[in-house]
Amino acid sequence: MNIGVVNMTGTREGIKYIIEALTDLEYIPIIFDYTTEEDIFNIISMSNIKNWIFSGSPHMVIDTNVPIVPLEIFNLSDKKFMLICYSMESVLYQLGFPVKKRFENKKEKFILTIDMKKVNNINKTNIFTGLSNKLIMRRNHHYYIPSNIIDNNMELVSSYRKESMLIFYRNSILVQFHPERTPDGYKIIKNWIIN
């Protein structure tokens, strides 16, 4: 199965772990380097690929002339999206949520817990099949969205140290970590693809 990957990093080196993860999971990553918001949306909307991953990026979403996730993807009901780190920030920033910056870049593995009651309420338990409720994930970012400001249009199911870490929004899963970097993350990617 082909999986679309929108490369928001500017280099192929920046998405090597996503390519590796999808290949290890026996999927075929089809890479699209970011050009413009309009071009990427047109590529996605005209493609027969159903599952799309937008990568992280070293850019800062609050800067000008940086890659932007097209918000129109949320109207494509026949497709689903995983928005990783920077791409999650891009969406939330465009939707009016404040993006905060900490002094120290957090580049670490950490334990992520999931609010399974919320997950059950929105019928997304299949994303966590085969996983415990203490997931080992990796994060690498200065920027974050505070968890106390997420509104009712989204379902925040995990936070870490008051930072939003995993949100379900319409046809998408938004993650403020890098699932392509740990075995638990691999399982989330796989479950997201098959469900």
- CA dist., res. 72 & res. 8, Å (int): 17
Q: Which domain CATH number covers 24?
A: 3.40.50.880
Structure tokens at 75: 């109207």
Q: Which residue(s) pair with 101 in the sheet?
A: 143
Structure tokens at 84: 């990783």
Q: Which of 139, 183, 186, 140 is nearest to 158 (CA)?
A: 139
Give me the pLDDT at residue 105, please. 60
- Tell me if residue 14 falls in helix, strand or coil: helix
- Tell me if residue 98 falls in helix, strand or coil: coil
Q: Which domain holds residue 54?
A: 2-194
pLDDT tens for 111-155 read: 999 999 999 999 999 999 999 889 999 987 668 888 888 877 899
Give me the pLDDT at residue 125, please. 95
Give me the pLDDT at residue 150, please. 80
Q: Which of 127, 108, 100 is nearest to 184 (CA)?
A: 127
Give me the pLDDT at residue 87, please. 97
- CA dist., res. 89 & res. 79, Å (int): 20
Give me the pLDDT at residue 144, please. 81
Identify the segments of the chain with pLDDT beneath 50: none
Per the structure, the count of domains in the chain is 1
Pairing of strands 172-175, 155-160: unpaired
